[in-house]
Structures are given as structure tokens and as C-alpha cells.
Structure 1
């Protein structure tokens, strides 16, 4: 344009909007959140969706202790995206957040405060201690609630569920009593994982495995009887163990009936010649440990080592040894029988396994079958009890110094001539408490169990009490149930029968329920199935103070627990009125009523495993709010919950209702740092979600969550968040363009689909296809695919293609132009669709976009439902044609680029192109390629144009006779 040329910028219809390009989310989002709270978006949405198909995502309860971390943020955002997407699809999708408020995590924090003051929590009255635990939980519920809300998570924050609410505690104890009434509860002594530091049993989900180095020892037990192999008398059977502290509670030795053992004489051992019994396949490794590596055949000698005899394992039946410390008398003087064990292998050790029924599951089961019971020598702190003849009052058994090769156990065995080898170098994985980080032990203690493989008692009549005749086969130490008083009313509504699985064991019912559940991803089914197939009976008792007590009365004479529906009803009523605290301050005689004397019954003091609490949430949240028998549509948590909440909820519901509490379960991975490492303060690699929100805004974090393949572990760091920010910025600019381009748009502008140019119909076709794909992705809970589809459409189909082509029409066509009106009609449809599609993920930005166009105090984008798109005629041919055009357009763009780099043309408008095919009329191709001229040729080729530039639209056209004057179209518009 020459200096004297007229400036036509005021005649161009440029987009106009106040919507800012710079988001400023960190500062803007709190105001949007405050407005939602002020107008009651969640409650109003419930009113709007009343009567619609309901979708219930039941929230798994985080512990109320500490600020949220990235795992919390990822979990809650993913839940919110799903809930919002279901609401968008027209469903009534309530979300009731909840917290786990009982148990060791909270109690441990309160104890830490006591320890800091040099106080012992055992010296504090239980009601005072429980009150402090409750106050601690209340504090963190309030903190986390505000943090979750700041993430944009929409829910019933005014009435969340808490496991410590009185109603919840009443339902929890009621669920326990259902198990008791149906005979699915027993008290027994079995080895469980026990934390000597926290002095309580632990669930598998409360344990993590770390590599440690232990002391390994080989110990000789002198054989005193051998009816099937008399040559063994006087020889020593050798066992190998990595837990020396279990030797003081040894009660037997196990052998493999099919294993070949060798009787070998070692002539030059420190104690003199010794004849030892070791598995043939392990002789060489055993010899290496004691300094005599050797492989022998019977009758052979190798220096000072001679193989005397081969003994088949089955010949060891009836063999008896004596404990190395037999001289102490009492327990240690008792004979140690050899017992056949299928679990005995020749993978490591000596092929003989020492049995301590107090400290191993295999040990317990095998010894129990032969009448050998636990002796409870190790107390809750990991010390041998004071009256124990060997090492009484000493420990702790998890202390490396105590169990080391120069510690008291090994020293005493060495003095007794029984320690053949000891070294402090055995590396292996070992369970630790994930709270105290201390090693745990297997320890037999009296606990309450829910059996996995016992048939429940049948119901008696309709609505009547269950049969109390429940003698467990093979459970000699298990209580039978006391029959209910004949005149007693029903304590609780009877649990439904197990339906098709009626009478099935809990394991069978749970496995059937797993098969009937939708698992996302599908491979998760195999994971939980294998866990349920192999899990032991559920240990539901804990030796703590903060939680729901196991509210049972045990007959002091028989050990049987009382099963009276009238008593149960009074217990539940007391909990509903005063919470679980009522049990600790109760008038137990009043709860028992006139038919029982408290002097004959012991109220139980153990509390319920918190996994039972959280496993019961379906009863006091889903059923209590939405009706008896209602199931959640979806449970969603991290993959660790296959052994945690998913499983405890499954077992609790299967045991009381004969089915799973959910229709579908979604599992996501863990949030790792940008190098794929677990986040930890010690590594300094923690990405704090609150810091990310404070700097970039919650929508960036939500964008990241949706973009990840969250079915696997995901990474987050500066670079990853930068990628999310770039994707967000492009989508925001799409909305900004739409708002600007639609400035002043009114309904009368709309053009019917049949009147639209092919390009507009093609874009509507793409929008329709996107709509179908987004719905499918939302139904599959695949929001990484959902977001990718949405952003690709905005970037590639709209910004880089449709908007680019039509900007000339928008800026320069007359307002009444059919093409311009058709374009704005499609932009309006795109706006209404895209803002809805984006709302579940970018909840704050979508609201900002909506309010920028429709500013109302009481309106919200989140009240909207899935867009209704116009019906399109069969445009498959149009779509195919335009796909070919787009491919050709890309080739033209690439061909122009060298001329641009060489500065032969400044923009594509200055280029003329030839193409081998003309899929559209030449004038349509010219505007589609945004060039001066298109003609047919043998191949794609580009040359600078000789046409002059219009001073308004800047297109180079043949009718422009002087550079800077107007083309015919622009002249008409300006006139």
C-alpha cells in the first residue's frame, strides 16, 4: 500500500471480545469458586436433574491427616471429571465426598504429640484420648475439604460422610453384627502381621516391602527317636532360618515326604565329629555355609566328610528331636516331632524347616493339625514375656543387634553346641509398616476373623434371626454362637440371601461378584481375582483405642459370643445416639438387658480394622442416601486398593448382601516425578499440587490429569506441566476466537444446513463425528482420549483449517453475506458444543467462557447438558472430498514454504499454485489454499503472482488495477 492509499481497517469486521488471552487462573479461579458456592451450584444441579437416570460414583475415603498430595489431587480430579461428564450427559450424578477418620494413621499422629511431651498415651483415659483423635480428624477434614474444593471438585461439601459420625458408626457396628448373626465371625489365634512399634495387628494394605539384610543361621536339633530309620538316633537334623528370634518358640520340624535326605558325618567341626541330616540337593550350599562345600554319593568320602546313608523323607515319620535349649526344662524339654509339610522345598536352606506356630502361617496350620498350639511367648512390643525360660523379658525381636550373629540368641545356641553357621549377610525383601516404617513380624494373637471358606448360617423365616448353630469345622478354638432368646425382636433387618450364591462361602461369593463387575482397565480383574483366591481369613480386630469397637459380649465360661438380636438392637441404638464412644462408657448391664448377667460376659475392647469401616461405606452412604439395595455405578481409586478398599468393600457387601457394592471399578496408577520415581521428601522430588494451583491454576492440573494415561503410573514435573499449559493455551485461544468472531451474533443470522456451503457442512460433519467419539470416550472413562480428541479438533480442524480459511469471509464479507452468516452459524454451534465438551475437564475456564458470552449471576455452564447437533444430510461424499482437499492443501502449504524462506513471497496470498487435480471449483480452491490463483498442472508447483493486492482484504486479485485499491467485493461492502 502506498503512503497515499486509504486505510480501510475501520471497515474490516475484526473479532471483538473482552475475554483475555492471558488466563490468570491462579487469581481468577477462587472468585469463580466463591460464586459457585454463593449460588449453590451443586444443590441446584440436584434439583435440575431430579428424576433423571442416576449415576453414583462412590468416593473412597482418604485419611484425614495432613495436606493433600499429588495422588489425592489426581484421584479427586479424575472423579470430578467423570461426575461432571455424566451430569453433562443428562444424568443425576451426585458426589458425596468422604473421609476415613478412625484407626492407626490418626491415632499414631496423636501418639506422636504425646511422645513429644514425654507422655504415655496408655496413661490417658480412653475417652480423653479418643476425643483428641476426633479433634485431630476434624481439623484435617476441614483443611482437606478446602483443598479439594480448590481443585474444582464439585460435591456435597456441606454434608460429606465421615466414618466417625454417629450414624456411620452405628451402621458400621450394625454391619459387624450382621456377620455375627449369620455365623460369619469367629475368634481364634492365628499368626497375623503385627507391628511391635505400633503394638497392633496390620492388614496387608498397611504393609510395604523393603529390602533388608538379616542374620541367617543353621541350627542342629539332636534326634532322639527314629522308628523308621534308627541310624538317625544321635544325629542332628539341621534347619536354616533368617529369623533367629523364632528359635525360642520352636515346637517341631517339618520335612518333605518326597525329598531325599543324606546323613553325613563331618569329622573336623569345631565341636568335634558331627553326623548331620540335610537334603541331598542342598548339601553343597549347606557345606559352603559351614565351611565344608561338598557333593557326595553314599559311601563316598571327601576329606573329613563322609556320606553315610540316604533317607527318603517319608522315613522321617515318627522322628523326634529335642530343642537345643532342652536343658532349660519345661517348654524346651518337650519333644520336637517331625511333621510332613507340603510347603517344604529344596529351593534354599537344608530341606528341613523349624516350626514356630506363633510366627508363621504354614507353621500354624501344620502344628495345629497335630495338636500343637501357639504359646504367645512374644508380647505386643516384640519382647519375650517375663516368665519365658529363655530370654524372658528381653528383645525387641526386630532389633538387629538382638538377632545378630553375636547377639544373645546366637550366643546361647553357640554355647549349647547347636549353632553350626551364622552370618549377617542375607539380603531379602521384608514387610514394614508403612506408617512407622518399622519391621513387622508374624505373631499369633487372639483376633477376630471373618472366614473366607465357611458357609453362612441360613436365615430363619422371613425377617427372623439367623440360626445361631454355627460350629466351624476344624476350628477347635472358635466360638459357637449362643441361641437368641425366643422372645427377642429382630435387632437388624436381615441381610438379603446370597441370591444365586446362597449358602456359598464368602470367597465363592466374592469371586462370582468379581466376574459380574466391570473392571476398567479389564486386566484389573485378574489382579483382584488372584488376591481374593489366595487371601487368608479376614482379620478384623485391632488392638488400638480409636475406632469402632467390636461390640460383642463373650461368655467368660465358654468363650462363645452372645448372639441375641435384642442385645444387638440396643447396641446399635446406643451407637446411633452416642457414637462408638458409647461402648467405652456404656452401662453394659443395661445393654445386655434382664436376660443376661454382666458378671458372666466380657465386653470386647478390640476395635475394628479401618478397612471394615471403609468397606461399610456403601451401607451408610449409598444405601442410606439413595435407598436400600442401591449400588454404586462406579468405585475409582489407585491400583493399591485392589488389596484395600475395593476388596474390603467387596467382602463386606458379599458377606451381608451376597453381591458387590459396585457395578464397575476403575483403577488408576500412581503419580511419579518426571523421572518415574516415587515422590518422597527425602529425594526432594515432591510436586505439591497446592503449589501448582497457586502458581498456574487448578485447570492446568486438571488438564494434566486428563491428558495422562492414568490406567498406568504417570509422571509429573515442570516439563510435563509445561506441555499441559501449552495445550490449555491453545484451547483457550480457540474459545477467545469464537467469542470474538461471534460478537453481536443473533439468532436471526442463522442459516439452515441445506443453505450452507460445503465447507461448513463438512465441519459440522467433523463435529458430529467428534460428538460420537467423545461420548464413547466418556462412557469408557478414557479422558486422555477425550481430551486428545477435543484439543486435536480445536487445533487441527478449527484453528489450522476452518478458522484459517474463513477469516477472510469473517473479516471482509458483508454482514448479510450468506457465506459469512453460515460461518457464524457454525461458529455458534461450535461454541455451544465445545464449551460443554470442555466443562468436565476445564471446569473454571468453561465457566469463564460461558459467562463471557452469557453473563448472569445465577447461571452456570455446569447446568447445561450434552449439545444437540443439527441433523445432517448424508454428507459422506462431502467428507471424503474434503479429506482429499485437506491433503492437497497441506502439499500446497509445504510447496509455498521455500518461497517464503527465500522472501519471494511474504504470505501465501502472493502465490499462484498449480495442482494435478481440482477437487473443488477453482474459486473454492483459491480461498481454501489462501492463494492468489489455482490452476491445473502436472504437479504441485508455486510461483509468485502478478496480481495486485486489495487495500482492504489484502487478497491479490485480477480486478485490482492499482495496488491498494479495492477488489469488487470490498468495494461493494465499503459502499
Structure 2
């Protein structure tokens, strides 16, 4: 050995990885620095400038409420949106993300009211625009807070110019959309039962309601049969001779009772009919025994659905004797009395029997108590009756006219829907005996705290007193609650503003048919969302728009005493002009009526003070965002929200746009599920299982949270907890280490190129894999299938790169001479691998990929200004991939055999081995031809023999025809590469290294690198 060789530290002669990219990410500290850098760079503006002239791709942001810190649902939603916009931006589009906020409505108003109540104040004593100013300031505060939290998640968008529903221009446009509905006669004032929050004193939409268990009082109530009869019309239509007809079959039900069951006894004063089903079997029964303290006595007759009579008899401690079946034709001829008839001089009208599709014999009695002021199905059935859709048959003892149609009644019925309950939950004068005329004052259904009032008890006591209670009980069931106050709601008939769903829009369409057609024309991800939204539109009632609150855009119309809307373009223009300049506060200012009506102020028009449902606000965002911003377009390419928005934002946006523009404001709808705790339970404060995005970012970093989102089936409900986060931390570390190794290798990249034809097969295989992955990545981003991308790239980095390609090529990359074509080709491939993997992952892990890109490209501005690399078509080589698939099968058997010997302590490194490989499969043997299996298996030597292996050979069950016999390597160990070779010492200048390594050392010495 020469003196120079004797003193040489061989580790310093190797091309070992060289990078400043740290193994430890330190994301909680590093990410805020990157956010600050993006802000200093004005990255959003640079993205817009860079994308100028490209096709627009627009994801329209569904606005969150500006009323608190973000939660895990916000994080999931915004990360998904960010990945979409970034991925399209990096694939040739101008994908501009404009964040937005919903600022009106009860969530914010409720917060201000809570502050008032805490200070002993009453909001009604404050001028309305002062109250609205506080709401506006509250919303603006939380917009600022949430903006910073979204940026910390890595969300890139126009946070300096977001859209908000409380901006003056937005309020003007929302008002303008409402006026379009008014001018096209789609808007009307009507009286229908709506979900009403007593606590919040406002109507609620279905999207503002959630269902919780609730214990209700249940009652079985008797409706006495007054008589059974025919009308002359039926006698004539059916050819019945009343002298020959045996009317005695009907007379035996007189004195019997039709029995109903309800979970809302307080609605009995509002009863106006009893519904039955022609599909249900009914019968007449007689009480033969009774053991109850109240209710039917022996000899009383009742009518029940036969399927339900036994349960009711047991509940009421009765024995009922079957008398005969009752047909639906007979039921419709019954005239029954209200169970509260005569109470406080009220309820003295007949209760018609009406058929209804909603009636079943699954529970109750087979009859449905119908209070049209307290339920949608009840309302619809009552309206059908009033419209004369049903043919009622009564003797002509009295005559009345209903909507122009003659009907015969022994007594008058009561066609008007009563307003039995006021906005505070108290009974009104329309509920005689329970309202203001009641001793002690009106009974109450629900109090201001959402607790049950005394209404149920008052009604039940009255029924018992009048011997009309058949039985009573309690039932725990799912019941609607306000999602803000968490208190139960009631169904209450109130005057509200509605949009027609089924009115002809002068082109043969209705809002419903337009919306259904738009759904059919929309792409849904997942596809089940289409079925869900379609079912909702098919069944939904008219759209109720009005709310009885203060903070929002008003229903800015004027009406006469009959509810007719003023349609005057000059008035509308004044409204729009004022809202644009001053916001919706102008509607509530002193003198607003005179200002807007102008010369028509002396006419009897009343200004409407209700505000619009916030779903109309958010449903209108497409107008003042997509249509009015030149950097966006209408319709949006995609809307993405949680699956609850099929009844929320997707729904209201669809109806608003179809009503004013005839189509949906989106081409694609994507829905995600909800985040559950790790054990599958719903996250809740009481269970202590909540996971907050702020905590994850503080402990692990936003990219870890983003990786979790990317690895979930986000369209289903996901789970999140400590162990799941740790799983993603572990996966992230492996990915980061792979990137770090590439950066270290590229620290020796001198920029040389190697033609594809000059590359070894292994390098061409890696380029083929990039070709495959490029197609998968692009297609999966188009399909919004992020999990497939994340899993495929993670597996590629860990399995194909770290455990295979890099493992094989470390020797060549570290030890080969500078002129080695193998080494040069490998560096070129690592360069391509890095550029592809980092850009493909940049939309998902923006912080880490930014850090890696800037470490590699010192003069770059940002990885997010890059495009996905264009992968040459000639990289694709399916035949080569098939060959190497077989080679890797053989390699797996070899490495398996070596692992066994390593576990036995026979060897410490695979380079100490030179196994014998037996291959009986001719196809596998052919694939190995010309391959350096020692290099591929990372051994110092290897022998490959055709034929069956000896019995003692190592085998894998899933690789047939391959066996491995272990053998140790011969020769001497190279002091530089640690391989065992027979040529160690053949170069006298470097007697302790192999000939390959000696040649490399001489080349390095000649270049002055030693």
C-alpha cells in the first residue's frame, strides 16, 4: 500500500448524500415560517400572474359561518378544496380560490343576544341598526381569526379579498335575486306549518334542524261517531236506491269512536280531520272487560286498525271483542265529532274522515289525527280536502260551498286553519279553553329555555274530564331540535314568505322540474349524492324564505292587505341603489318606506320586515362571486361540502339558480363525510374525544393533518385520534426520508444528461414507473380520488424506491467513478423522480414539498408556481416492466433467505453472502438472462442455476419454482465498498480495495478530488 493510500479515509472518497434538508421535520416551527414567506412573496398574486391566459378552473367556496374558531370539519373541508385548486393550478389551469363567509342569520345574532342577556339587556330596546352593527363587527372579527387559521393549514387563496354575504354589494345582489323571484310571481305570502324555534322566536329550515332523542307524552284519543250517511250525489253516481239499501250496517257504528294516537297532545285543539288509509284493514270492536281507571267502559264501541288493536287493548287494560270489519268506503261516510266539542264554547264542528297516503298500520291506531296547522302531511291532506280532490258523502241536511264546490254536511266543518300557538309557544284564542280565556292564563307548549310547558297536561286533563282519553303513555323517540340552541322545535302555522315549487314558470317548467333536470345534468362524487339530492327535491314543499329576526338581508318587498307584492321596477331600482351604497341597513332606517316607494308612498303598501333565510343568502353567492368577479366564471366547475349540504348549500344554490337562471350554478358536486372519534363515536365535549386542528398543528404540523385527509375515504365518515395521527406521522417520516435521500444524492448532480437508450434497464424501469404513475396521478386528481394518489406514491417511495431502487443503486452512486455511465444514469433518474414526486405531492403536502423544492432549486420562488412534469411517452415500456416483475419475484426469495440467515446471526450484511439460486420456471429463468442478480440482490456474488432446488432450500409459497441455498461470499472485503471480491489488492496503489474501487480512486485523484 502506498503512503497516500495508507493515510486515505475512504469514507471521504464516497459520493455520500449531501443535503441541508433535515431528517427531523420540525413542522410546527417550520410551517409558520413558510406561511410568512408566502405572504411576503404575495404568492397568491404571483399564482394569478403566472396562470394568466390559462383556462379557468373554479371551485366555489361554500361559506362557513363567521362565529368561532375552526374545527376539524372546517379543516377537512378546506384541505380538500385546497388540494383541488392547487392540483388544477399545477396542471395548466388558472385555478383561483376565493374564500367566503356566511355572515348573516341566527348563529351570529344569537351570540350577540347572549352577550346582551349576560349584561341584562334586551335587544328589542336597541335601535335595530345598532344591533346589526354589532352583528357585523362580531362577524368581521371571526373572519379575521378564521382566515389566519385557514392560512396556517396551508390554504392558498384570495384572503385579502374574500367574499362575504354582509358586504354591501353582496347584500344588494341577494336582494336583487329576491326581487327576481318576486317579479316572476314565484314569491308569495302564505300560511303553512313550519318548524318553529320558541327559544329563538323564528322559523327554521330543515337544514337548521338536527334530531335528538326526546321523551314525549303519548295519548290515544276517542273521536265519537255522530252518524253515518250517504249524499244524494253518491246515490246518483253509484245507482243506490236508499229505500232498498240496508242502512242498518252503517247505523251500528253510531255511538262508536274512531281512536287516534299522537305524541303531541297539545295539537289536539288544532285538529280538523282524521285520516285513514284504504290500504289498511279496520274493524269495529266492543269493550267486553275493562280494568282501567279512565277510558272506555264495558259496552263502548271503538274502531281500530286490526293489526294494532291488541297493542292498544293491552295498553289501556281492556278486552275488546271483534264485531265486524269496516271498509274504507264506510269510513269516508262517517261524521265524527271533535273530542273537545263544547269546551269553552269551541270545537262545535264535524271532523271529516279523509284518506291519506301517509297513513300506515305500523304504529298507533291506523288513524292519523290531522291538525293542518302543525304538520306538513296534515296540511297537504287538508288542502286536498278543501280543493275538492276527495268526494265526501253526506246527507243534504246543510249546504256549504268550499272553493266553489258543493259539499253536504250535517254540521258545518271548520275550513280555516287555526293559529293555535303563538311565537312564544302559548295557546291563542284559536284554542278555546287553553288560550287567554283559560283560568290562570294561556297554557304553553315550550318555554323560553326549551323546557316542556303545561300545554300537554292541560289538554290531557280536558280529555279525561270529557271521557275522550282512551289511554296514555310516554315514548322516547327522535325529535327535531334547533342545531343552534339545541332545544326542541314545534310545528306551527304562521304567515311566511314562500317560493312556489310547482308553479308554471311560463315555459312549461316549474322550479321543481328545473331543479330535477339540473341534478341529472350534474356530476356527483360520490355518485350516491345525486340520488339523495334528487329525492329531497322530489319531496320538498314550497321553499320558505322568511325569518323573524334582525340580522340579515330583508325580504325587501311591499305588500297590500291581501298579501299581493308590489311589482315596480322603479321601486326596485331605488332599493338596489341604496343597498349597494349603504347595505341592507337602509331597509331598517327611519323613513325607508317613503324613500323606496317614492311617489307611491301615499298608497296602502306595507313594508315587510322579515329577513331572508340565510340559506337564500348562501344560495345566492354564485351571483356576486362567480358572476361579478372577472377572475372567476359562472357556473363553477365544482362545489365541495359535507354530505349534510344536500339539504343545505347544494340545495339552496340549486333552487336559487334554477329559479333565476334555469340551471345549477355548478357542474360537479363533491361531498365528504364527517369526522368521528377514533372509536367511531361522534366527537363531543362531554365525551372528551374531540380532536382540534389547532392541537394537531401545534404538536405535529399541518402537513400531518393534510396527510390524514389525503389517506382517508373522505366521502365516507372518517375517524381521527392519537393512534391514527401517529400512523400518519410514521408514514410521513418514511416519505420525508426518501425525499431527503434524493436531495442528498442530487447534491452531487452536475446536470449531465443520459439518453434513454444508454441507460441500464433498472433506470429505464424507474422511468417506466414514473410514466405509469403520471397517468394515475392525473386521472386520480381529475376523479378527486386523493387516497389513491397518496397510497400509490407512498408505496412507490417506500417500496419501489427506498427498499428497491435506492437500495440497489447506493453502491453505484456512492462508489462508482465520476465517469460511470451507471452512476450518471442513476443521478438523472433520481432527478426525474424528485421533480415528479415533489410536484405531484405539492398540492397535498404544500409545506414539506415547498421546503424540499427550495432546498433543491435554490433560485426557485415556489414549487406551487411549477407545473407537473411532462413525462415522455417513450418512458413507457410494459415489456420491460413485465420482465422486472419476474426478476423482483426471484429477488424476494433471495432477500427472504438472507433475512433468515441474518436473524440466525450467520451474517451481518447481505454483502457477506453469495447464495445459489435455483429456478425451475423457464419464464423466470429467461427473465434473469443478462441480469446481475448479485447487484440486484445486494450480495457480493450469486449463482443462478436452472432446475428444482434441493429440499433444504429456502422457498416462498407465492413464488413457485424458486429456491435459494445460502452460501457465504468468497474473496476479500473491499475496504471502500465492503463488497467481497476476488480482485481486492489487484491494484498495488490501493491493495485493500477492489479493482472497481481502485479505478474510481485514481479517477478522483486525477480530477483533484482526493
Q: Same fold (TM over 0.5)?
A: yes
Which of 193, 196, 200 is residue 194 of structure 1 equivalent to?
A: 196
- Which residues in structure 2 correspond to 1:688-703 (within 5 Å)? 688-703=692-707
d(CA) in 2 for partners of 1:417, 1:39 = 81
Which of 407, 415, 421 is residue 471 of structure 2 equivalent to?
A: 421
d(CA) in 1 for partners of 2:524, 2:688 = 35
Cα contact 1:321–1:337 (8 A) shared by 2: yes
- Give the SS at the match of 2:880: helix
d(CA) in 2 for partners of 1:649, 1:406 = 39
Cα contact 2:193–2:491 (8 A) shared by 1: yes
- Give the SS at the match of 1:944: coil
d(CA) in 1 for partners of 2:361, 2:822 = 83
d(CA) in 2 for partners of 1:756, 1:168 = 60
- Per mean C-alpha deviation after superposition, the further-off stretch among 149-158 and 599-608 is 599-608
d(CA) in 2 for partners of 1:945, 1:595 = 106
What is the Cα deviation at residue 326 of structure 1? 2.3
Which of 522, 536, 557 is residue 517 of structure 1 equivalent to?
A: 522
What is the Cα deviation at residue 875 of structure 1? 2.9
Which of 919, 925, 933 is residue 933 of structure 2 equivalent to?
A: 925
d(CA) in 2 for partners of 1:822, 1:891 = 28
- Give the SS at the match of 2:492: strand
Which of 751, 754, 762 is residue 751 of structure 1 equivalent to?
A: 754
d(CA) in 1 for partners of 2:535, 2:136 = 37
Cα contact 1:949–1:964 (8 A) shared by 2: no
What is the Cα deviation at residue 13 of structure 1? 1.5
Q: Tell me the alpha carbon deviations over residues 640-668 of structure 1, each in whole angstroms, 9 at most, x when there is no partner.
A: 11111011111111111111100101111
What is the Cα deviation at residue 373 of structure 1? 2.3
- Give the SS at the match of 1:339: strand
Alignment match, 2:286: 265
d(CA) in 1 for partners of 2:288, 2:905 = 96
Alignment match, 2:49: 47
Alignment match, 1:438: 487
Alignment match, 1:533: 538
Q: Tell me the alpha carbon deviations over residues 741-789 of structure 1, each in whole angstroms, 9 at most, x when there is no partner.
A: 1114232x22111211111111111111111111111110001101111
What is the Cα deviation at residue 8 of structure 1? 1.5
Cα contact 2:275–2:368 (8 A) shared by 1: yes
d(CA) in 2 for partners of 1:161, 1:628 = 12
Alignment match, 2:366: 351
CA shift in 2, pair 1:77/1:213, >3 Å: same
Alignment match, 2:609: 605
Which of 782, 797, 801 is residue 798 of structure 1 equivalent to?
A: 801
- Which residues in structure 2 correspond to 1:30-429 (within 5 Å)? 30-228=32-230, 229-257=250-278, 259-266=280-287, 270=294, 272-273=297-298, 274-294=300-320, 296-298=321-323, 309-368=324-383, 369-370=385-386, 372-385=415-428, 388-392=431-435, 393-398=441-446, 407-424=457-474, 426-429=475-478
Cα contact 1:60–1:635 (8 A) shared by 2: yes
CA shift in 2, pair 1:633/1:520, >3 Å: same
Alignment match, 2:880: 878
Alignment match, 1:554: 559
Cα contact 2:443–2:454 (8 A) shared by 1: no
Cα contact 1:401–1:407 (8 A) shared by 2: no
Is 1:951 paired with 2:984? no
d(CA) in 2 for partners of 1:687, 1:620 = 35
Cα contact 1:922–1:935 (8 A) shared by 2: no
d(CA) in 1 for partners of 2:284, 2:746 = 94
- Which residues in structure 2 correspond to 1:484-499 (within 5 Å)? none
CA shift in 2, pair 1:759/1:261, >3 Å: closer
- Give the SS at the match of 1:237: strand
- Give the SS at the match of 2:369: strand
d(CA) in 2 for partners of 1:18, 1:233 = 96
- Give the SS at the match of 1:373: coil
What is the Cα deviation at residue 402 of structure 1? 5.8
What is the Cα deviation at residue 256 of structure 1? 3.3
d(CA) in 2 for partners of 1:598, 1:209 = 48
- Give the SS at the match of 1:912: coil
What is the Cα deviation at residue 171 of structure 1? 0.5
- Give the SS at the match of 1:774: helix
What is the Cα deviation at residue 964 of structure 1? 7.5
- Which residues in structure 2 correspond to 1:694-733 (within 5 Å)? 694-733=698-737
Q: Tell me the alpha carbon deviations over residues 115-153 of structure 1, each in whole angstroms, 9 at most, x when there is no partner.
A: 222322222221111111111111111111110010000
Alignment match, 2:1006: none
What is the Cα deviation at residue 928 of structure 1? 1.1
Structure 1 residue ranges without an equivalent (≥5): 299-308, 459-501
Cα contact 2:285–2:322 (8 A) shared by 1: no
Alignment match, 1:890: 892
d(CA) in 2 for partners of 1:363, 1:854 = 70
d(CA) in 2 for partners of 1:258, 1:25 = 66
Which of 1, 10, 13 is residue 8 of structure 1 equivalent to?
A: 10
Is 1:817 paired with 2:844? no
Q: Tell me the alpha carbon deviations over residues 531-584 of structure 1, each in whole angstroms, 9 at most, x when there is no partner.
A: 11111111111111111100000013x321111122112111111111111111
TM-score, structure 2 as length reference: 0.87
CA shift in 2, pair 1:8/1:366, >3 Å: closer
Cα contact 1:58–1:635 (8 A) shared by 2: yes
What is the Cα deviation at residue 328 of structure 1? 2.8
Is 1:936 paired with 2:944? yes
d(CA) in 1 for partners of 2:967, 2:821 = 32
- Give the SS at the match of 1:770: helix
Alignment match, 2:955: none
- Give the SS at the match of 2:110: helix
Cα contact 1:262–1:280 (8 A) shared by 2: yes
CA shift in 2, pair 1:10/1:746, >3 Å: closer
Cα contact 2:225–2:256 (8 A) shared by 1: yes
CA shift in 2, pair 1:817/1:627, >3 Å: closer
Alignment match, 1:491: none
d(CA) in 2 for partners of 1:84, 1:544 = 40
What is the Cα deviation at residue 267 of structure 1? 5.5
The count of corresponding residues between Structure 1 and Structure 2 is 915
d(CA) in 2 for partners of 1:288, 1:184 = 51
CA shift in 2, pair 1:964/1:403, >3 Å: farther
